[in-house]
Chains A and B, each alone.
Chain A
Amino acid sequence: QKEVEQDPGPLSVPEGAIVSLNCTYSNSAFQYFMWYRQYSRKGPELLMYTYSSGNKEDGRFTAQVDKSSKYISLFIRDSQPSDSATYLCAMSRGVTGANNLFFGTGTRLTVIP
């Protein structure tokens, strides 16, 4: 079993829709939860991170972490064609553990004008 599971999609939505992207994980030691966006043939771009459980909002993006369920989500409001990309969740164990990120396989999103 992979430590981080993510539905690969693809996911196709009309412009203006609310998008929900999710990941589950198995390692309860994960403390930091990140979302990256990756356009085709580009490097991953950090969107936002959350420490421990809770919600975080940044413009049209909201990240949620539920550590009790080992489940994280990213919501995109008023989706735009420019949001079309692959979205990767990532997690880490924190400063005292190894600092590398564990990634989901990514969900490919297409927003149709």
Chain B
Amino acid sequence: DSGVTQTPKHLITATGQRVTLRCSPRSGDLSVYWYQQSLDQGLQFLIHYYNGEERAKGNILERFSAQQFPDLHSELNLSSLELGDSALYFCASSLGLAGHHEQYFGPGTRLTVT
């Protein structure tokens, strides 16, 4: 158990809908990262938050957004969902910027868009 929790475990929704994925980092970790894992693309970085502020963006679509709250948990919002958004979404946390190479991953949320 990495100490990172993600909810829900599974999500099935229809095209055009909006969903919210939630992540709680390990105790003491200030950085939260979101990754998308699909069969054809592997693990792709979406966005990084550090202590409540957006730090870096990767291949994140404009339909997707995220935030990190004062208690350091993070939410990833996916809207206008398309079939191609079906994937595993992982969040990871690390102590901070200096410890960024030690990222601990949650169990993931499996999103299925029908």
B2 CB contacts on chain A under 8 angstroms? 43, 45
Give the number of chain A interface residues (Cβ < 8 Å): 23
Across the interface, do B107 and A42 meet the contact criterion of CB distance under 8 Å?
yes
B105 CB contacts on chain A under 8 angstroms? 36, 43-46
Give the number of chain B interface residues (Cβ < 8 Å): 26
Across the interface, do A105 and B108 meet the contact criterion of CB distance under 8 Å?
no
Across the interface, do A46 and B56 meet the contact criterion of CB distance under 8 Å?
no
B100 CB contacts on chain A under 8 angstroms? 32, 92, 95, 99
A-B contact count (CB 8 A): 62
The answer to whether B97 has its CB under 8 Å from any CB of chain A is yes
The answer to whether A63 has its CB under 8 Å from any CB of chain B is no
A10-24: which have CB < 8 Å to B?
A: none
Across the interface, do B108 and A43 meet the contact criterion of CB distance under 8 Å?
yes
CB distance from B60 to the nearest CB of A (A): 11
The answer to whether B16 has its CB under 8 Å from any CB of chain A is no
Shortest 10 CB-CB distances between A and B: which pairs?
A99-B100, A43-B105, A32-B101, A100-B45, A103-B43, A98-B56, A105-B42, A44-B105, A43-B107, A49-B101
22 inter-chain pairs at a CB distance below 8 angstroms, sorted by A residue, are A43-B2, A43-B105, A43-B106, A44-B43, A44-B90, A46-B102, A46-B103, A88-B43, A90-B43, A92-B100, A99-B31, A99-B33, A99-B56, A99-B97, A99-B100, A100-B33, A100-B48, A101-B43, A101-B45, A101-B101, A103-B42, A103-B43
